[in-house]
Each structure stands twice: as structure tokens, then as C-alpha cells.
Structure 1
Amino acid sequence: MTAASSPAVVREPDGGPVKPGPSRGVLARAAAGPRTAYLLYVAGKLGGAAVSILAVLVTSFFLFRIIPGDPVKAMTRNRAVSPEQLALLHRQFGLDAPVWQQFTDYCGKALTGDLGISYQFHAPVGELIAERFPATLLLTGVAVVLYSALGLWLGTRSAWRHGQLGDRLNTGVALTLWSVPSFWLGLLLIIVFSVGIGPIPGLFPTGGMESGSATGFAHVLDVAHHMVLPVLTLVAVGYAQTLLVMRSSLLDEMGSDYLTTARAKGLRDALVRRRHAVPNALLPTVTMVFINLGHVAAGSILVESVFSWPGLGGLFYQAIPVPDLPLIQGLFVVFAGAMILMNLLADLLYPLLDPRVGR
């Protein structure tokens, strides 16, 4: 390896073992000005996101082709279909072409926004996703906002009063709910609050998004009534992770010298927590919040299936048994793309929260 290509190293003053130094990207940004350093940081993150999108396209094409089953035979089940008709359907869906040709056609169309035609719905995949997305956005968006705010609030207070009864209670409940499968909790809530058990009557619908043809404010109330149990399921499972991450991050900050200095200046404890400790503990939690926002597109496949919610999660569940390859692939690209986009936004937000990031 030449000197120009060797990684930067730092030698110990006492002649001890050599330790790896900063990466080339960090050194390049350090040598540049603040503005140039940030632009290099942004360019690196954008390049990483582009590579991730290409990896998603490759994965979405090959991963779901290992699902056993023939889509054409599944769609013509219990029907008298001749071999010639089966061959014609395979040709119409492009399933008779070599795999490499199917892959190049798929990537070329996906990069232009064409996700194909659904086998079972006989409609463009993009239109199906656009039709179901508002229901998923409503359900998961409300849940993400609620459990992110709840997790941040409880995590901050648990860490600030760590070791006390409230901290032990919050941590114990969070660990318990974090380990509970969401579909199991959803079924339990349906049994207790929809079907009714003992003295508890059935208060909420068992599934769906609406029950009738109500309009105006009555329709809003009807949708909200149907949302209670699925949102409660998502919040109960989701807030625990945010709480534990925020608690751990804030505990790492609580022994820092700058907090001791702030207290020595006579600042109130609540002010020290709000203005000094919490902002410095937010980076890991910001990542968690943006990942949760990425889940808004994916929704929760299991929760939407349990509550028969007409969103993208239920659509994905319907597409798997066929298998409806264009629909599965399109949903996978949308789900993964949303996660990549949210992670990219979190990376771009980091320098605003901590100027040391990107330098």
C-alpha cells in the first residue's frame, strides 16, 4: 500500500501501539472551511442515500422472486384454463422473459415512477398505493406523533430522577410493552374492548375505518372511534423504544462538567435540564423519531391486518399470497424509500443540533 493510500494513523507519544486516526472524509472536512465542510457532508449523505435506493431496487426484485408459487396459476385457480392460455398470461405479465431482462425492465420503469400493473387488481401499482396511503398516514401519523412525544417526555423525567420509584415503574412498563408483539396486543384489546369481557362492555369497533355513510363532523367522529384501538396498540408498543433511548442518552449526559457548571451558576434544575442536558441528549432520539416517521409510509402491516384497516399494510398482506409481484415490489420500494429519506433528513438535521457534526 502506498503512502498516499494508507489510512491516517496517530502514534502514541510513548511509542505504544498505533491507533487508527480519523477517516479521510473527516480530515477533508476539517481542512476545509465550515461551509465547504457542510457541503461535503451533505454530498456524502446524498451519495449514500442514492446507493441505498439502488440496493433497494435490486433487493425488491430478487427477494420476492424466491416466494413459492406461480402468480398466473394462483389467479386462475379453480378455473378451466388451457396450457395455451397460461402461456399467454405469462407472456402478458412478462414472466416468460429471462430474469435479467425482467430486472432491467423493472429498474428502468421504477426509476421513472412506473411500478407496474398489479396482477390481482389489474390497476397501476402507483394508483393503488396513492389510494391507500391516506388511511395509513392518518393511522400511523397520529400514532407516531403521540408515542414520540410521550416517549421523549417520560424518558427525560425517568433519567432526571433515575433510581426513584417513578423511574423504575416507567422503565419496567416500557420494557414489558417493548417485548409484546403488536398483533398480540391488538387481539387482546379487541377481546377486551370490542367484544367485551366480564363487566367491560364492547366499546369500540372490531375493525375497519368507518361503519356507515355518515358525513361531516359525524364522519370524523366515526373514523376517530375506529382509530382508538389501533392507535392505542401502536402507541403502547412504540413509545417504549423512544423512552428507553431518551433515558439512556440523558443518563450519559448527566455526569458532564457543563451541567455542574450550569448548576454552579445558580440555574434552576428544570432550566438546566431543559436548556442544557436535553438538547445534547437529543441526537440518538432524533434518529429514532425520524425512523418512526419513516414507518408512517409502511404503517404497521400486522396492526392494519388485525384491525382490517384499509391502508398500505393491509394491501401488502393481500399481495403476498398470490404473490402479486409488482404490488409487493412497489410497496417494498415505497416503504424502504421512506426510511432512507427520513434517515437522510435526520443526518442533514444533525449539524443544526450539534455543530460538531459535519465538521
Structure 2
Amino acid sequence: MAAFIIRRIAQALVVLLIMSVLVFAGVYLIGNPVDVLISPDATQAIRQQVIEQYGLDLPIWQQYLHFLQRLLSGNLGNSFVFNMPVGTLIAQKLPATLELTLIAVFFASAVGIPLGVYAGYKPDSKLSRLIMAASILGFSVPTFWIGLMLIMVFAVQLGILPAGGRGATRELFGVPFSFLTLDGWSHLLLPALNLSLFKMAMMCRLAASGTREVMLTDTIKFARAAGISEGTILRRHVLKLISIPLVTVFGLELGSTLAFALVTETIFSWPGLGKLIVDSITSLDRPVMVAYLMLVSALFVVINLCVDLAYAALDPRLRHGSR
């Protein structure tokens, strides 16, 4: 098991190194932040001073080495626009995005998996057909449209939930969270629901197809022949057999939800990383853009590493076979 973990960590580090090259090249070869940072009326001497100050006159490979050196030392640089450390800027916005993402993904899993298992266990029932039809809508309807409809119904017409913002927060270990207050929950419900619907539909259909396939295997037939109750069969056999694809989707969707919560955060004015990255792209704030992309890449790599380790824990054949 130790060799398996070391090998996966080494692979993760290689992926992060490759991603750093791609992210740096993709961001630093597009646009010129000097045009945004300096007034068009500035003299050539002032422009040259700013270019040298930010190291924009160096070759691209030398800029990358400086960036990699700062990254390894934990220094993400200073924002061109906000004139403050990028790490501090991201740390201020990250808790809000993490809170929204985790609640949305866990809610999608807690609702989607049981519904999918039921739909796969009794595929011919009316409720199962209704569940599968609703999951198709979850895939088909755009997220931004659902968000606008949620605001129109619950905030405008019914007036029972706020249309945006984060609401009151309470600190936990020095970090503000909304789920610790009732007002925070009222602001959190609509964006979390909007962000979770697509994931819920995916988890539901995956669990339904996996359950339907497992129910036809010899394992289930032998379990029923042995007189094991249906509840025990679902808990000990079906859920265990469909757990690996569910763990895969859970890990990938956790990363993608964190990376692409931009639309939901914009619609509901949620003060997370979404608005920060939009403002950074508009102003060509390269350090913030690179730091955000590297953060997302690192989260994907870490999540995939955790998924691989979960595979090995769920099915020992995987780690033994990798030897």
C-alpha cells in the first residue's frame, strides 16, 4: 500500500508541473497587462519603469522560472489591480466558494444516489419513471435559467428567500461560514440548490444504471437464494458493487463544481472566487489568473489522488494488480 501511495503522489507532482507550464504559457502569452495598469497618457519612461518593475521585460522562460520559484516557496505574487498578495486575496474568497461547493455536491449525492438506487431497483414503477424523467430535465435545462427561475419564484413572487448575497456569517477557526447561522442558510439554499441539480441528475442516473446492472448478476441471485433480506442485499451488495463509479463521479464533480461555480456565484451575487476571476480576466490581472488556475489544477489532482486511494480501499485487487 505504501508503494501504491508513493507512486500516485509522484504522478500527481508530475501532472502539477506540466499544468504549471500550460497555465503560465496560456495566461502570459495573451494580452498585455501594461495597457490596463498604465494610463494611455503615460510617458514611455513610466511604461518602461512599470514593465521592469513587474519583470515583463524578461524572456518568457525566465519569467516562468521566477514564477515556479515563487510558487514553490508559497509566494503567489502580488495582484496588479488590488496591489496585495494574491494568496491573501484568494484566501478571503475561497471559504465562500468551498462552502457553496461542498454543500451542493453532498446534497446532490445524498438525494441523487438513493433516488437512483430506487429507480434501478424498481425500474418499472411509476415513481422510478418519474425520477428518470426528472433527471433528464436536470441534464437539459441550463444552470443560469434554473437560477433565474429560483430567484423569480422564491425571492420575487413568494418572498421567502433572499435573491443574493451571503447573509450573516459566524467564524469557525477564524474562517467565516454561512451555514452556522439561520440567515446564512437562507442565503445559501438557492445557490446550493441551483448548483446541485445537474450533479444530482448525474448521480441519480449513474446509480440507477449501476443498480439495474448489479441486480441481474449472479451475486444478487445467490444472495436471494440464501434468504438474505432485500434491505441487506441493497446495503451490503448493491451499494458496494456500484461504489467505485460513484466515488469517481463524486470526486470529479467536486472538482468541476468548484472550478465552474462561476455562473451560480454571478447569478446569486455570491462573494466567492467566481467574481474575483471574472474581474481578473477583465483587467488582465495575471498573478490572480495564474493562481486561480493553479489552485483549480491542484484541487483536481488532489481529488483524483484521493479517488485512487479510495479505489484501493474499496477494492484491494486494484492496488495488488498495479504491482
Q: Distance in 2 between matches of 1:144 and 1:138?
A: 10
2:58 aligns to what SS in structure 1? coil
Give the direction of change, closer, same or farther, for the CA distance of 1:297–1:218 in structure 2 (3 Å limit): closer
2:7 is aligned to: 44
Q: Deviations over 1:272-292 (max 9, x none)?
A: 111111111110101111223
Alpha-carbon shift at residue 202 of structure 1 (Å):
3.2
Q: Which residue of 280, 289, 295 maps to 2:241?
A: 280
2:253 is aligned to: 292
1:358 aligns to what SS in structure 2? helix
1:332 is aligned to: 293
- Indicate whether 1:155 and 2:116 are aligned: yes
1:121 aligns to what SS in structure 2? coil
2:181 is aligned to: 220
Larger helix proportion, structure 1 or 2? 2
Alpha-carbon shift at residue 225 of structure 1 (Å):
1.7
Q: Compute the RMSD of aligned alpha carbons.
A: 2.4
Alpha-carbon shift at residue 246 of structure 1 (Å):
1.7
Alpha-carbon shift at residue 80 of structure 1 (Å):
3.3
Q: Distance in 1 between matches of 2:63 and 2:259?
A: 26
Give the direction of change, closer, same or farther, for the CA distance of 1:212–1:326 in structure 2 (3 Å limit): closer
- Indicate whether 1:102 and 2:59 are aligned: no
1:23 is aligned to: none
Instruction: Decide which structure has the larger Cα Rg and report it.
Output: 1
1:303 is aligned to: 264
Give the direction of change, closer, same or farther, for the CA distance of 1:80–1:203 in structure 2 (3 Å limit): farther
1:135 is aligned to: 96
Give the letter aligned to residue 237 of structure 1.
F
Matches within 5 A, 1:162-173: 162-173=123-134
Please list every run of 5 or more consecutive structure 1 residues that lacks an aligned counterpart in the other structure.
1-37
The question of whether the paired residues in 1 share the 8 Å contact of 2:24 and 2:64 is answered with yes
Q: Which residue of 185, 192, 199 maps to 1:231?
A: 192
The question of whether the paired residues in 1 share the 8 Å contact of 2:79 and 2:285 is answered with yes
Q: Distance in 2 between matches of 1:261 and 1:212?
A: 53
Give the letter aligned to residue 209 of structure 1.
R
Alpha-carbon shift at residue 296 of structure 1 (Å):
6.3
Query: Bigger shift: 178-187 or 106-115?
Result: 178-187
Please list every run of 5 or more consecutive structure 2 residues that lacks an aligned counterpart in the other structure.
171-177
Q: Distance in 1 between matches of 2:127 and 2:169?
A: 44
Give the letter aligned to residue 45 of structure 1.
R
Give the letter aligned to residue 167 of structure 2.
E
Query: Bigger shift: 153-162 or 82-91?
Result: 82-91
Q: Percent identity?
A: 33
1:357 is aligned to: 318
Q: Distance in 2 between matches of 1:100 and 1:219?
A: 47
Give the direction of change, closer, same or farther, for the CA distance of 1:190–1:339 in structure 2 (3 Å limit): same
The question of whether the paired residues in 1 share the 8 Å contact of 2:36 and 2:283 is answered with yes
The question of whether the paired residues in 2 share the 8 Å contact of 1:209 and 1:309 is answered with yes
The question of whether the paired residues in 1 share the 8 Å contact of 2:138 and 2:197 is answered with yes
Alpha-carbon shift at residue 219 of structure 1 (Å):
8.5
Alpha-carbon shift at residue 107 of structure 1 (Å):
1.4
Give the letter aligned to residue 115 of structure 2.
L
Q: Distance in 1 between matches of 2:193 and 2:58?
A: 47
Q: Distance in 2 between matches of 1:65 and 1:183?
A: 30
Q: Distance in 2 between matches of 1:301 and 1:147?
A: 18
Matches within 5 A, 1:185-264: 185-194=146-155, 196=156, 200-210=157-167, 220-264=181-225
